[in-house]
Amino acid sequence: MTNDSFPSGVRSRPISSQFLILKTTALFVLWILLSASFDWIHLGLGLVLSFTVAWVNSGHSPFVPKFRLWGNILFYLPWLFVKIVQSSLHVSKLILHPSLPIDPRLINVETNLGHHGAVVLLGNSITLTPGTITAEVDRNTLIVHALDEVSEQDVTSKSIESKIAAMFKDEEPDL
């Protein structure tokens, strides 16, 4: 199959046998968990279907597994969880205050992240953090809604961005 037969933006690449085995294993484990049937017919059918789905989807996906990046993301998640808890406590304090001292604002956040995945992760991390929502993303510019000045400072301090930049430092820029 040539690259001309794919829509623009989608390119064919050789199927990695390691990636195919990884996808098949993940799908098969999901099959076992969802079906809860351990007889040979269901296990065999699950394995065949898992391999088929993994094989059909492996040649067209632009995603290539990068285990170091995923390992870094796993270490990032506990840090993000702490930020979410801190922001939740702050927003709870705002809501419970008798005068409701919110000061909503939209801010432009320019990033130096050069990777699509990094910008998406930044936008999602900002949205997951209570008190802020990523309203729009345009390449390296995010428009963020913040409830108050403290929430805005959490975003403009670039602490989330610096953590994400460190995770993606070995990735080739694609923006």
pLDDT of residue 54: 85
Query: Does residue 8 form part of some domain?
Result: yes
For 91-114, the pLDDT digits (tens) are 999 999 999 899 999 999 999 898
Cβ atoms of 117 and 140 closer than 8 Å: no
The reply to whether 75 and 31 lie within a common domain is: no
Residue 175 lies in a domain: no
Tracing tokens 């995770």 back to the chain, one arrives at 167
Predicted local distance difference test score (pLDDT) of residue 169: 86
Both 82 and 157 in one domain: the answer is yes
- Mean of per-residue pLDDT scores for the chain: 85
Q: Which residues contact 35 (CB under 8 A, 6 or more apart)?
A: 42, 46
- 134 phi and psi, to 5 degrees? -80, 115
Model confidence pTM above 0.85: no
78, 135: one domain: yes
Tokens 């961005």 correspond to: 161
Nearby residues of 33 by Cβ (< 8 Å), 6 or more positions away: none
